[in-house]
Amino acid sequence: MVEKECLEEVLRKLKVPEFQELRKRILRKFREPVALPKSVKKRGMVKSIVRVDKIYSIVNSELEKLIKTLPRESDLKPYHLEVLKLASIEDYRDIVGKIRGMQAVLRRLWRVYRLKIKSSVDSAEAKRLSREFVGRVMSVLRRLRHDFDRLNTAVRELSKLPCIEAGAPRIVVAGMPQVGKSTFVRLISTARPEVSPFPFTTKDIILGHLHIGFSRIQVIDTPGILDRPLSKLNPVERKAVMALKYLADLVLFLIDPYEGAYYPLSQQLNLLKSVTEMFKGKEVIVAINKIDLVSDDRLHEVEGRIAEVYKGRILRMSALKKQFVEEVLREVVKKLGFSENCLKSLSV
Ligand SMILES: Nc1nc2c(ncn2[C@@H]2O[C@H](COP(=O)(O)OP(=O)(O)OP(=O)(O)O)[C@@H](O)[C@H]2O)c(=O)[nH]1
Ligand SMILES: [Mg+2]
């Protein structure tokens, strides 16, 4: 069976026309010589009609492609709308509607000018009318210029999202920057997010799969979130919040216990508290990562501090050294409701 492409994949291939580029194409086409069979009469008038038809066909096919490919707002999932909002596009439906409207305006113009040219008195008038037609088309496109730019932003932002399946369970890996989210996701799933010693290495939502028996779990890497009020978060951090809110069946929250961590434990715990409060209905698993960097005493101290804000079981691992990663996975898989049998097939 051929798998249907997801919306994001379709959008990755879509090119929103750019006004200047379209303008150049139209002018080039308009200047191209028109070859007609010898038998054709009223050659000047026919050439003008051919030119008008060609211009209309270029513009109409661009608009048609857009209208056919762009999803309706009602087909977008809440997380798509959230991503558009983060890109300051809250009027997606209006933009697409405007393009549809302009397509109809262009069709009318084309019909009117064809008739006018057909009833022109001589080839000079036909030529003047075909020029006028191009001018009117340009002015319609110029009015759409800003909408094309915003649509381009919308398409780019939406196509950065991975193809999320509705059926397969999803875990979202979250935490402050640099706690090792991407290292963990790389290790346990098919995703290959970049890992580096600098905060905000991950700037987008990244999806990987973890195969267990015949099932697959969607593992989602997110950008780090800083400990600050929601209204102060930047658009990159807000993508992580969006993933937590809309995509997570289960949240795996990672903590860096190292005294010299990029962000102090107190801030990490504030964030953990905010996340559990903000997403009350969601199951959250907490794992201390980078245990290879700290002593047992420090580990106990960190566990004690976490327990002040989180009541569940606290796991430990080192994603870099591949220590106890399997234990974390077991907890994840168990919480997602997989059977003990499935757990047997897990290995890191
Ligand atoms: N010692 C040690 N280092 C680790 C471990 N896990 C990750 N690191 C290192 O921590 C740094 C950050 O790792 P990332 O996986 O990029 O962290 P992240 O949470 O995805 O960071 P952002 O994308 O910036 O939010 C890298 O230098 C990793 O090699 C671990 O278990 N032990
Ligand atoms: Mg990362």
- Nearest bound ligand to the CA of residue 184: 1
pLDDT at residue number 247: 97
pLDDT at residue number 5: 87
Identify the residue whose tokens are 């807000």: 238
pLDDT per residue, tens digit, the chain (348 aa), is 556 789 999 999 999 999 999 999 999 999 999 998 889 888 999 999 999 999 999 999 999 999 999 999 999 999 999 999 999 999 999 999 999 999 999 999 999 999 999 999 999 999 999 999 999 999 999 999 999 999 999 999 999 999 999 999 999 999 999 999 999 999 999 999 999 999 999 999 999 999 988 889 999 999 999 999 989 999 999 999 999 999 999 999 999 999 999 999 999 999 999 999 999 999 999 999 999 999 999 999 999 999 999 999 999 999 999 999 999 999 999 999 987 677 666 666
Residues that place a CB less than 5 A from ion ligand 2: 181-182, 201-202
Going from the Cα of 207 to the center of ligand 2, the distance in angstroms, rounded, reads 12
Q: Is the CB of 268 under 6 A from ligand 1?
A: no
Among residues 277, 300, 204, which one has the least CA distance to residue 247? 204
Q: What does the block give as tokens for 9?
A: 């994949």
The domain covering 170-344 belongs, at the CATH homologous superfamily level, to P-loop containing nucleotide triphosphate hydrolases (3.40.50.300)
Q: Is the CB of 257 under 6 A from ligand 1?
A: no
- Ligand 1 atom index nearest CA of 221: 20
pLDDT at residue number 346: 65
Name which residue sits closest to atom 2 of ligand 1, judged by CA: 290
Q: Is the CB of 229 under 6 A from ligand 1?
A: no
Instruction: Please report, for the chain, the start and end positions of each structural domain, with discontinuous segments joined by +.
Output: 7-159, 170-344
- Ligand 1 atom index nearest CA of 323: 31
Length of the chain as a residue count: 348
Residues 109, 115: contact at Cβ < 8 Å?
no
Residues 348, 333: contact at Cβ < 8 Å?
no
Name which residue sits closest to atom 10 of ligand 1, judged by CA: 180
pLDDT at residue number 4: 77
Class of domain 7-159: mainly alpha
| Burial degree of 160 (CB within 10 A; 0-12, 13-18, 19+) | middle
pLDDT at residue number 344: 67
Among residues 261, 264, 279, 297, which one has the least CA distance to residue 180? 261
Q: Is the CB of 179 under 6 A from ligand 1?
A: yes
The sign of the torsion formed by the CA atoms of 315, 317, 322, 324 equals: negative
Q: Is the CB of 290 under 6 A from ligand 1?
A: yes
Q: Is the CB of 180 under 6 A from ligand 1?
A: yes
For the chain, the maximum distance between any two Cα atoms, rounded to a whole number of angstroms, is 97
- CB neighbour burial string for 300-324, b if at least 16 within 10 angstroms, e if fewer: eebeebbeebbeeebbbbbbbeeeb
Q: Is the CB of 11 under 6 A from ligand 1?
A: no
- Nearest bound ligand to the CA of residue 200: 1
DSSP 14-41: -----HHHHHHHHHHHHHS-----TT-S
How far is residue 247's CA from residue 206's CA, in Å, rounded to a whole number? 12
Evaluate if pTM is beyond 0.85: yes
How far is residue 112's CA from residue 114's CA, in Å, rounded to a whole number? 6
- CB neighbour burial string for 198-231, b if at least 16 within 10 angstroms, e if fewer: eeebbebbbbbebebeeebbbbbbbbbbbbeeee
- Ligand 1 atom index nearest CA of 254: 19
- Ligand 1 atom index nearest CA of 186: 15
Q: Is the CB of 178 under 6 A from ligand 1?
A: yes
pLDDT at residue number 38: 87
Residues 283, 250: contact at Cβ < 8 Å?
yes
Going from the Cα of 263 to the center of ligand 1, the distance in angstroms, rounded, reads 12
Distances (CA, A) of 173 to 138, 248, 287, 300: 49, 9, 10, 23
- Nearest bound ligand to the CA of residue 178: 1
Residues 82, 240: contact at Cβ < 8 Å?
no
Among residues 58, 25, 56, 50, which one has the least CA distance to residue 117? 50
Residues 306, 286: contact at Cβ < 8 Å?
yes
User: Which strands make up the sheet holding 283-288, listed edge to edge?
Assistant: 206-212, 215-221, 170-174, 250-255, 283-288, 314-316
